[in-house]
A and B are shown apart, each in its own frame.
Chain A
Amino acid sequence: MGDTASMVLAVRGLTRTFPGVRALDGVDLTLRAGEIHALLGENGAGKSTLINLLTGAQPIDDGTIHLDGRAIRPKNPADAAANGIVAVYQEITLLPNLSVAENIYLGREPTRFGLVDRARMRREGSALLARFGLSIDPALPLSAFSTAVQQLIAIARAVDMSARVLILDEPTASLDSAEVAVLFRLMRELAASGLAILFVTHFLDQVYTVTDRITVLRGGKLVGERLTADLARLDLVAMMLGSLPATESHLQRRTAVAPGDIVVQVTGLGRRNLVSPFTAEIRQAEVLGVAGLLGSGRTETALLLFGAVRADTGGVLVDGKPVTLKGPRDAIRLGFGFCPEDRKLDGIVADLSVRENIVLALQARQGWWKRVPPARQRALADDYIRLLNIRTPDAEKPIQLLSGGNQQKALLARWLATRPRLLILDEPTRGIDVGAHAEIILLLEELRNDGMALYVISSEIEEVAAYADRVLVMRERRQAGMLTGAEVTPAAIIDAIVRPVDGEPSGRAA
């Protein structure tokens, strides 16, 4: 295995641009026969885009894909499959209303005199599934089986379509540890039979358990390719989160104003199966940064704090008095604001204008019967457009036509219009261009200096280290540490994220 193995897939300079953001920027990827290759990166790093281009789900803007030395350009998933590139996703993309055999052979059913040969389908399906350690009747409907079995059936289908390259996109997310072990054994067998496997996960333990090589993406760009055995866990996290000691200087830590009184005190807030109880205090004129890898529970802390998910333990004090958080409406009434991670899904209302999007939270707090007067709406929108430098021809333009950075600023304006006491931001700088990036960080610092309390979740460790006064570190859905004052450095944050398994890069099975 390793360098002498033959190259199956060679991706060079692959690029894909969406309005306002370059989702994938000149990325290279090399897959070798018999190897399991991890594709790693935080949300928005470009993993999904890369997979979509490889499987033809999205068109390629620039770059080349060579499969076994032959240039290909998949037009759609069927075309990619015909070339030997098949993907299996976390979400099972099989059809629950069909039988297992029909799912395996859909689109390439064996026929006899023009009719589907069900007996043969059942026989061959049975034999195929047996190779994957499944002794089930393929005539049963898919919906009769557990997620883990469905996942294996999806892989069986993919492999049976004479795949050269098997892409597994977070296949372990909904499996328990025994099922993961079965999957890993299967992956090793498939690799040994000459397949190239691209494995996407956010469990680092699994990366070290099963992969031979790692490619890391960040912000749509290639960070690097390493042999798993040669890459220490600490260095891997640094690659993913983008903090290298040499680049630390360009974000100057600005002196903060003295923090004021405690605005929000969180004590043991948690919810079973979501996030273990965590404790934090957020002061006036202070940024509390929240760091951790994807899936560490960092977003979940914000959902609990904002009441979007109800906690089953612990409580929140505001100005020293206990409050009930039954839902976001309670949180808004208390003066909390929340800019969620996924703007398109949870944040902007795409078809409404910039003005309507900005006024939304203020209107919601006032109740729907006391309409914000049109003149005041316009004044508010114009003020914030000027103040935050939102680039739009006018306030009436539908927000979906703005770039990511400007949408983010409009979202910020939405909450600023309510004059919040605590502003919760989840990945405020994700998926936006460099200029807007800097502007938003500057804005956060201004808000902080004006006395607002900020709760900022970010995977950009350098940035967090630059603007946060204290940092809450999350790991595996529990609080892993709280850094204050001089402790807040990129190195210390990364150290806290990986600490318990540090120096043991070949970790055990999940």
Chain B
Amino acid sequence: MRLDARTLPLLITVGVFILLYAACAVQFPAMLGTRVIGNLLTDNAFLGVLAVGMTFVILSGGIDLSVGAVMGFTTVALAVMIEGAGLHPLVAFTIVLAGGALFGCGVGAAIHWLKAPPFIVTLTAMFLARGAALLLSTDSIPVRHGFYQTLSGLSLSLPGGGRLGLIALLMLLAFLAGGVLLHFTRAGLKVYALGGNSRFAGLMGIDTGRTTILVYGFSSTMAGLAGIIFSLYTRSGYALTGVGVELDAIAAVVIGGTLLSGGVGGMAGSLIGVLIQGLILTWITFDGSLSSWWTKIAIGMLLFIFIGLQRLILHFSAPTGRTG
């Protein structure tokens, strides 16, 4: 087994997750039940889907701050289309996914053609999406369509009384599809190439513009899917949904062993990054005496430790024959 800058962070993440889970289980044996596991996956489904898109963006050397706002906009847009305009949910889903893809491609195009930093462009996109969502409605709109009831009822029974809801399955499917796309296709390799060094990637014949546009398009599509999941989860639409979740998604990806500078990392780590965040929240809920804000503090400390670790790993595995 090779330990290098690519595999070590993932192993550390897996180790942290197992330790954390074991510690929880010792204190609260109920944590081992499939019911808790099912809830862990269901409650964090939207975050997981966002993390799938964010993994692509960060691996390509970028960042996407707009995903939380796009998700919020999607929940409102769905509520307005289904309740206001009377569209069938499946039609509305198709529209928001297509809209998300277009929006993201626009963001990617702006980053590429204007040679603007992704941070600024996606910050702009975040304001745009959030503003547009508030323009649609400032109220929380409940969605009462029968199809929503049907979808919410769909679930896979786990041995031990747990249930894997549709949205948890959707998240796992997103991770699976994202993982295959990233690790087993030409497109995925292009994302790594772009994140390694975009100028060299261009010299090696990669169409960097096209790749950038598709990466952000994919991220926004995932944000649209996260919006659908959140809409099913809460059966409502609200413009201020998901404020700050883009940062949770970034944290999940980084904790999962992907370098914030791009080019190194993978999809499996991001799933564990999401689960670690969910686990901390579950623990705090079980404990009952701690404020839920401790989640943020724990995540902050974990992130800090991981970024420090990544620096150390990079330092000690410095490639040979290259000068600074």
Contacts and interface: CB of A to CB of B under 8 A. Distances in A.
Interface of A: 57, 76-78, 81, 93-98, 102-103, 106-107, 109, 111, 114-116, 140-141, 143-148, 150, 157, 174
B180 interface: yes
A115 B180 contact: yes
B197 interface: yes
A115 B200 CA distance: 24
B207 interface: yes
Contacts of B197: 93, 95-96
Contacts of B184: 115-116
Interface in B274-324: 319-322
Contacts of B201: 95, 106
B189 A102 contact: yes
A97 B189 CA distance: 11
A95 B320 CA distance: 14
Contacts of A143: 319-320, 322
A96 B322 contact: yes
Contacts of A150: 321
Contacts of A102: 189, 192
A111 B201 CA distance: 20
Smallest CB-CB A-B distances: 7 pairs = A143-B319, A78-B205, A95-B196, A147-B321, A97-B263, A97-B196, A146-B321
A107 B319 contact: no
Contact of A94 (B4, B204, B206): B204
A71 to B, nearest CB: 22
B77 to A, nearest CB: 33
Nearest to A91: B200
28 contacts: A77-B202, A77-B203, A81-B205, A93-B200, A95-B192, A95-B197, A96-B319, A97-B6, A97-B195, A97-B264, A98-B192, A102-B192, A103-B204, A106-B190, A106-B193, A106-B205, A106-B206, A107-B190, A107-B204, A115-B184, A116-B188, A116-B189, A141-B4, A143-B319, A143-B320, A145-B320, A145-B321, A146-B321
Contacts of B115: none
A116 B184 CA distance: 5
A115 B177 CA distance: 12
Nearest to B259: A97
Given A106-B206, A111-B186, A98 B319 contact: no
Nearest to A80: B205
B186 A144 contact: no
A93 B193 CA distance: 11
A81 B207 CA distance: 13
Contacts of A81: 205
A102 B264 CA distance: 14
Nearest to A111: B186
B150 interface: no
A98 B189 contact: yes
Most buried by B among A77, A95, A148: A95
Contacts of A77: 202-205
A152 to B, nearest CB: 12
B62 to A, nearest CB: 15
A139 B106 CA distance: 36
B185 A115 contact: yes
Contacts of B186: 107, 109, 111, 116
Nearest to A150: B321
Contacts of B204: 77, 93-95, 103, 106-107, 157
A146 B189 contact: no
Contacts of B207: 78
Nearest to A143: B319
A106 B186 CA distance: 8
A109 B190 CA distance: 11
Contact of A95 (B4, B193, B322): B193
A46 to B, nearest CB: 20
Interface in B162-219: 180, 184-186, 188-190, 192-193, 195-197, 199-207
A144 B317 CA distance: 9
A93 B206 CA distance: 13
Nearest to B204: A106
A148 to B, nearest CB: 8
A421 B182 CA distance: 62
Nearest to B206: A107
Interface in B43-93: none
Nearest to B318: A143
Nearest to B184: A115
A308 B136 CA distance: 61
B11 to A, nearest CB: 16
Contacts of A78: 205-207
Given A115-B185, A141-B6, 6 more contacts: A76-B202, A93-B203, A93-B204, A96-B322, A115-B180, A144-B320
